[in-house]
Chain A
């Protein structure tokens, strides 16, 4: 898997939910090579005193005919704050596509995507690929509150095409079911309808979804998030504890077989 470095202009960078932005960067080579679940490592040339390292973002959307790589990010610190202020036409330096993406069983019949907060972008391309492949896809999407729900339309588009259903949850009940993602996903997984579960979100949520999948013997993959430095497998800064020892989140992941990870 070849990684590339491109300087691409920003096609758009817009707020789509409270504190959450959707950015599209012109990067044809990376776009053409990207697989669902892979990520890009992005450099914002600002003050190195503020932002020294690159920032990893899951690929939200990309395809050979798009010429662009899209990411969806939440402003959480100085780096993402800086990123949110960039305007179309400005350039960013991106490396990608990086890592092992989703690897659903070839004959997946009925898949469940479980998305917590800004975990949703990592599942968008997977949902599309599964739907195109003929699987039925359901999704549970959770957020703290209605104004922080993002990426709903795109996930919904794939799910609808596949004949599935999107379930929304919010911690405060301002949209969908009042409660955590896992309240809904636990029930769905327990129904025995699924032969594949994919999850991306905060660690405690991932842990609970994985637990439910194990209990019902469903193959489950998880996209892990770790602080990263190099993003290309050299520095060993982002290791994940697995049954086969400490593995690099960046190039051995970010998607892991949940049964391989030590929870």
Chain B
């Protein structure tokens, strides 16, 4: 060794794996004998626990499998799948912001056929539910993706993305107009009997109008929120930090907005809500359930801590035990105003 060591660290296991450090037992906390009933029902299908991941932050789970058993999650929500392969947007695609980040990935994905060939075999190895996120530039695109996926028994539910701020055609343009949102919902509803979630954008004047429209058009549940449209500027270069100039804001910065919208939507529709937006810890997730969510998704937090989603689950279990809550689903909408 050609360099000096100021501190001989050999064989001193001060560095520990997170599980050792956190004292995680061999039996996952959500499966222990004294665990509360963590199962929830989301738009017609049962999740063994309320925690999934936000589409686009987790691939199909394989990227995180080195860090924890992703089957412990209540469901895997996949990266958006489109009819054909999409190249996504130019770089730079991300920018760090106060308490969050902007992205303008643009739904890069290899298309539904490649998804079925490459990802379904991996998803088949998992012991949890699979929600496939569906993207499109047109109503026909959405329907085509779902028609192809109907042949795949591994798929438990769909989450239809009418809220991506990073594509020119389709995406958010459907989600900001009640009539268009209802048209997409009705078209995909006709294509499947499977549980159907519609993912809404917060970039609207009144989220309740859109929520009502998709509920009336046949949605089984509503996912919200997608990212908030924002931008970041490099002052010295006088240039936008994102190649596409604007992008979607995520991370803890958006949690209060997300909570408010979950609450508003819960008050006007009867279908269940998959709540998301800035969830970093178990307590955040509990807040979403109190506001009206039946299940929750962890998004950008997985970028900071690859184990964030399963940690959120463990912390929710701990919260329920501490508070004497025997069924986590009793928390949904239990906010006292």
Contact = CB atoms under 8 A, between A and B. Distances in A.
Interface of A: 2-9, 11-12, 14, 24-29, 43, 48-54, 61, 65-68, 88, 93, 95, 153-154, 157, 226-241, 245-246, 251
Given A235-B56, A245-B87, A66 B1 contact: yes
Given A28-B13, A230-B63, 20 more contacts: A4-B17, A4-B66, A5-B17, A6-B15, A6-B16, A8-B14, A12-B7, A43-B304, A52-B98, A52-B101, A67-B9, A226-B92, A229-B300, A230-B303, A231-B303, A232-B306, A233-B59, A234-B58, A235-B103, A238-B91
Contact of A237 (B13, B58, B64, B94): B94
Contacts of A228: 94
Given A48-B252, A230-B57, A235-B57, A9 B14 contact: yes
A231 B66 CA distance: 13
A229 B303 contact: yes
Contact of A53 (B15, B93, B96): B96
Contacts of A95: 67, 306
Contact of B3 (A27, A51, A154): A154
Contacts of A27: 15
A3 B2 contact: no
Nearest to A30: B15
Q: Which among B9, B64, B108, B304 has the greatest number of chain A C-beta atoms within 10 A?
A: B9
Interface in B75-125: 79, 87-88, 91-101, 103, 105, 108
Contacts of A229: 94, 101, 103, 300, 303
A222 to B, nearest CB: 16
B5 A11 contact: yes
Contacts of A14: 6
A236 B63 CA distance: 12
B1 A7 contact: no
B11 interface: yes
A26 B13 CA distance: 8
Given A232-B63, A236-B88, A53 B303 contact: yes
B12 interface: yes
Given A5-B17, A234-B59, A26 B12 contact: yes
A9 B96 contact: no
A230 B302 contact: yes
Nearest to A6: B15
A237 B103 contact: yes
A10 to B, nearest CB: 9
Interface string B229-261: 000000000000000000000011000000000
Contacts of B100: 52
B66 A3 contact: yes
Contact of B87 (A43, A50, A246): A246
Contact of A52 (B56, B91, B97): B97
B1 to A, nearest CB: 7
B2 A154 contact: yes
A11 B92 contact: no
Nearest to B302: A230
Contact of B95 (A8, A227, A246): A227
A53 B308 CA distance: 13
A4 B2 CA distance: 27
A49 B88 CA distance: 28
B139 interface: no
Contact of A49 (B6, B12, B98): B98
B35 interface: no
Given A154-B3, A246-B88, A52 B16 contact: no
A61 B91 CA distance: 30
Contacts of B7: 11-12, 88
Interface in B110-164: none
B302 A237 contact: no
A13 B183 CA distance: 59
A53 B108 contact: no
Contact of A157 (B2, B63, B98, B251): B2
A228 B5 CA distance: 31
A48 B63 CA distance: 24
Contacts of B69: none
A8 B96 contact: no
Q: Which among B16, B21, B57, B303 has the greatest number of chain A C-beta atoms within 10 A?
A: B303
A52 B304 contact: yes
A24 B15 CA distance: 12
A162 B276 CA distance: 56
